[in-house]
Amino acid sequence: MNSLGKILTALGLLALMPTSCHSPERVPENEEEEIYLLVGEPCSEGDYPKAIARADSLLASPREMSDSLKAAIMIDRNVSICEYGNLDWGIANTDTLIDFGRKTGIELAVMQGLQNRGICRRRKGDLSGAIADYKEGLAIAVKCGDEEMEQAFSDMLAIACAETGLIEEAASFASRSLELSRKADDEFGELNSVSTLAAILVKEGKFKEAISELAPYRDRSRGFKTLLRVKYLTPLLRSYLSLDSLAKVKETLAETYEALEGTPRNTQVYLVAVNTEAALAEKEGRYADQWHWLQVADTIGANGTSPDLWNIGRAQCLANLGRWQQAYEMECAAYEALDSIRRNGDSRELSELMVKYDTLSKENAIERLKSARLMWALIALGAVVVVVLVVVAAVSARKRARRRLERERQEEYLRGLEQERSRVARELHDDIAGSLVGLQWQLRGPAPEKAGDTLIDVAKRVRRMSHEMMPPEFGDMNFSSILMDYVARFNASDASHHIVLTDEGSYPWDSLSPSESHELYRIVQEAVGNARKHGAEGDIRLVLDGDASRFSLKVVNPMLPDSSVPAGDMADGVGIRSLRMRAALLDASLDVKADGGYFVLYVFQ
């Protein structure tokens, strides 16, 4: 089938017209491979947003597909979601895939779902849940005689067991994986298993043995794609770092960047290079560079490593930079969290003794208080009468002032909402509607093959607008998680701007209530939208700061060279006034200024 035929097939599957009263058309068997490749190719190339978008369109198509084709599309969609870094969404999607596989009797779908759910759980730190998923998948693979999946689950069990300290069990699974791959003459599986064995040796501190194990495969590894190539290079990087072979680290890091070429910077696999850059900077005493790379890692998000363990390393970096107070607060918080499990056991034993002691103390206190209670009650009654008279007058005045202030806030807030509705209406009219009209002419014009890309682009923009209006995950995620998800989606979809998110304080962002999180998220979203619309191309810096009780937030973006808007105009605009009202709902203030060619929006309590 030529390229025009592929595009027309895609357009037929992506049709947005409702189904008619006739029975839906079924995808012919000879077209199934072409249709699957619409999702399979971008997934294998690491273009996960495109794979997800195409899979959603295909699964929503009115054309009927065979269960096997639908399962293949669902599997690659699930892989793309998990690798894109949205772990909670990935877990929910794997449950759907597993249920579909069990309902249709497609064991491969069940095994792939268990495999991906285990990967997501491992990355979230739930190693026991990951091991349970892998063992269930291994049992199914053995039962149905699928040695390829048996080898894959053995390899994953080796990794998970090593991370939980079950070294002997990990080595046993790794050896089983290597034996199965050699039996099948599977070079991919063999390199995968050898890489896992080397990772276990690194876990045991046997760095030279790990390098020796990997050495024969170095040239062969260059022929494989990103994920396996990076998995092979990871134990080499860690071994050279531990042995202080910095020249070898830089040489291997260059190979890692070569393997990552074309991979989006916000995907989890990039953490290998970013963490190595941070460790190398620390070895060489470049602590400012180390802090930069640690913040880049935070922007991408943790991958199977406890955030508390990450914070211990970050605290040491802050100490090396001379930021002692922040280093102390971060390390105390990290050790407090890591020590909580041990202290919970001790606390249970102590609490039983304290309950008995408190009971005896309260009985004695009650007896003493009985004799004094009557006298104090009479004194208190007289004082209360006087206080009540004063308080009633003060409260009445405050209520009137509060009602007046609340009305003013609501009126200003409603004006901001009307402005937001007007902006969405303009985007729908000027952007989406115009693109759909252009799509109509493309389909009727001499080059209809370009219409497929235009349709996918329109779908992405509609998806982006829906996310901006209210992210679907907001109800289930805290402020930190939804902000990381917003940054990842923005960086994946905008080629001319890139958000760099850093947290330079110790404020507990996860303590915000859902309503507070919503207001602060809207402030960030509006500020970033203004930066993208009115500022110059380049990095948009989103800086979180604060202490244990108060937060601050800055959005900094480069201004256009010919921009000469006075600071007073920036501060008095309708959009800024709306943002000030949102900040006021958080008991915070908002300020804007132009500073050295940069526009700075500052929110602080």
pLDDT of 139: 92
pLDDT of 550: 92
Q: What is the pLDDT of residues 337-347, one digit of tens each?
A: 666 544 444 44
Provide the mean pLDDT of the chain: 77
**If DSSP codes are grouped into helix, strand and coil, which group holds residue 399?**
helix
Q: Per-residue pLDDT for 600 more than 80?
A: yes
pLDDT of 368: 55
Alpha helix (H) residue ranges in 164-270: 167-183, 187-203, 207-214, 218-221, 226-242, 246-259
**If DSSP codes are grouped into helix, strand and coil, which group holds residue 537?**
coil
Mean pLDDT, rounded, for 307-312: 64
pLDDT of 17: 39
Q: Are 506 and 333 in contact (CB under 8 A)?
A: yes
What token pair was written down for 403?
Answer: 């009602």
What token pair was written down for 432?
Answer: 């989406």
Q: Are 154 and 173 in contact (CB under 8 A)?
A: yes
**If DSSP codes are grouped into helix, strand and coil, which group holds residue 555?**
strand
Query: Where is pLDDT greater, at 28 or 341?
Result: 28
Q: Per-residue pLDDT for 524 more than 90?
A: yes
What token pair was written down for 328?
Answer: 């102390």
pTM assigned to the model = 0.43
Query: Where is pLDDT greater, at 422 or 239?
Result: 239
Euclidean distance between CA atoms 373 and 363, whole angstroms: 15
Euclidean distance between CA atoms 233 and 255, whole angstroms: 8
Q: What is the pLDDT of residues 324-365, one digit of tens each?
A: 888 788 777 777 766 654 444 444 344 444 444 444 454 555
pLDDT of 579: 87
Residue 543 β-bridge partners: 502, 554
367 CB-contact burial (10 Å; exposed 0-12 / middle 13-18 / buried 19+): exposed
What token pair was written down for 302?
Answer: 């943790």
Q: What is the pLDDT of residues 146-165, one digit of tens each?
A: 888 888 888 888 888 888 88
What token pair was written down for 115?
Answer: 């495999």
Q: Are 235 and 248 in contact (CB under 8 A)?
A: no
DSSP state of 403: H
**If DSSP codes are grouped into helix, strand and coil, which group holds residue 547?**
coil
- Mean pLDDT comparison of 76-80, 258-262, 587-591, highest-scoring range: 587-591
pLDDT of 555: 95
Alpha helix (H) residue ranges in 445-513: 451-469, 479-493
Radius of gyration of the chain (CA): 29
5 pLDDT band (50/70/90 cuts)? very low
- 127's CB contacts (< 8 A; 6+ apart) are 121, 160, 163, 164
pLDDT of 44: 81
Lowest mean pLDDT among 6-15, 83-92, 307-316, 522-531: 6-15
Query: Where is pLDDT greater, at 395 or 54?
Result: 54
Q: What is the pLDDT of residues 534-569, one digit of tens each?
A: 889 989 999 999 998 899 999 999 998 876 555 444
Residue corresponding to tokens 């970013």? 274
Residue 186 to residues 147, 151, 344, Cα–Cα distance (Å): 11, 10, 48
Residue 236 to residues 229, 257, 261, 537, 587, Cα–Cα distance (Å): 11, 14, 19, 37, 51
pLDDT of 14: 45
- 3-state SS of 468-526 is HHCCCCHHHCCHHHHHHHHHHHHHHHCCCEEEEEEECCCCCHHHCCHHHHHHHHHHHHH
What token pair was written down for 477?
Answer: 């995620």
Phi, psi torsion values for 284, nearest 5 degrees? -90, 5
54 CB-contact burial (10 Å; exposed 0-12 / middle 13-18 / buried 19+): buried
pLDDT of 371: 52
Residue 573 to residues 141, 276, 529, Cα–Cα distance (Å): 63, 45, 15
Residue 287 to residues 320, 561, 585, Cα–Cα distance (Å): 7, 33, 38
What token pair was written down for 91?
Answer: 């877990």
* Angle at which helices 147-163 and 127-144 cross, to 10°: 160
Q: What is the pLDDT of residues 443-495, one digit of tens each?
A: 777 767 777 777 777 766 776 665 565 554 555 567 888 888 889 888 888 88
Q: Are 566 and 525 in contact (CB under 8 A)?
A: no
What token pair was written down for 418?
Answer: 């009307």
β-pair type (538-546, 551-558): antiparallel
411 pLDDT band (50/70/90 cuts)? low
Residues in the chain: 605
1 pLDDT band (50/70/90 cuts)? very low
90 pLDDT band (50/70/90 cuts)? confident
416 pLDDT band (50/70/90 cuts)? low
Residue corresponding to tokens 């007058």? 393
pLDDT of 601: 94
Euclidean distance between CA atoms 166 and 318, whole angstroms: 33
- Mean pLDDT comparison of 363-367, 378-382, 465-469, 580-584, highest-scoring range: 580-584
Q: Percentage of the chain surpassing pLDDT 90?
A: 11
Q: Are 53 and 33 in contact (CB under 8 A)?
A: no
Q: What is the pLDDT of residues 189-240, one digit of tens each?
A: 788 888 888 888 888 888 999 899 888 888 888 878 778 888 889 999 999 9
Query: Where is pLDDT greater, at 437 or 139?
Result: 139
pLDDT of 309: 57
What token pair was written down for 360?
Answer: 């005896």
Euclidean distance between CA atoms 71 and 64, whole angstroms: 13
Closest CA to 77 of 59, 103, 98, 101: 59
Euclidean distance between CA atoms 168 and 484, whole angstroms: 37
Q: Are 119 and 156 in contact (CB under 8 A)?
A: yes
- 133's CB contacts (< 8 A; 6+ apart) are 114, 115, 117, 118, 121
DSSP state of 217: G
Query: Where is pLDDT greater, at 575 or 482?
Result: 482
Residue corresponding to tokens 């876990």? 203
- Cα angle, residue 159 at apex, residues 157 and 162 outer, rounded to 5°: 105
314 pLDDT band (50/70/90 cuts)? confident
Euclidean distance between CA atoms 537 and 418, whole angstroms: 29
